[in-house]
A = this chain, B = another copy of it.
Amino acid sequence: MTHVEIKEAQKQVDDWISQFEDGYWPPLSQLAALVEEVGETAREINHIEGSKTKRSGNDNLESELGDVLFALICIANSYNISLEDSFKKTMSKYDKRDKTRWKQKTKKP
């Protein structure tokens, strides 16, 4: 069984949006949409972690994270940015910068 590549996810979003006349929203509107989804993610995590109103299961969070990813992909697509390249850049930055920032596990002999 194959899994969805980041590149393929970007294409699926592009196909979906391309069927509409208006196409992508202006970038600052897309950013606002991303912020809205991050806000809903914040609410879900507060529900799961907070001491007041514990919620069991995290189905809602699963949905919200998908919405955040969708909004993120829209922004990337608008600017012709490959999220795969973005991801590789971040991994390589962290690898260089943070390798010695936290304590590594001691290797078992």
Q: Give chain A's interface residues, CB within 8 Å of chain B.
A: 2-9, 12-13, 16, 18-22, 25-29, 31-43, 45-46, 48-52, 58, 61-63, 65-70, 72, 75-76, 79, 81, 83-91, 93-95, 102-105
Q: How many chain copies?
A: 4
Task: Name 27 A/B residue pairs within 8 A (Cβ), A-sorted.
Answer: A3-B8, A20-B105, A22-B52, A26-B28, A27-B45, A27-B48, A28-B46, A28-B49, A29-B49, A31-B32, A31-B41, A32-B43, A32-B45, A32-B46, A36-B39, A41-B75, A45-B75, A58-B81, A62-B85, A62-B86, A63-B89, A65-B72, A66-B87, A66-B90, A67-B90, A69-B72, A69-B90
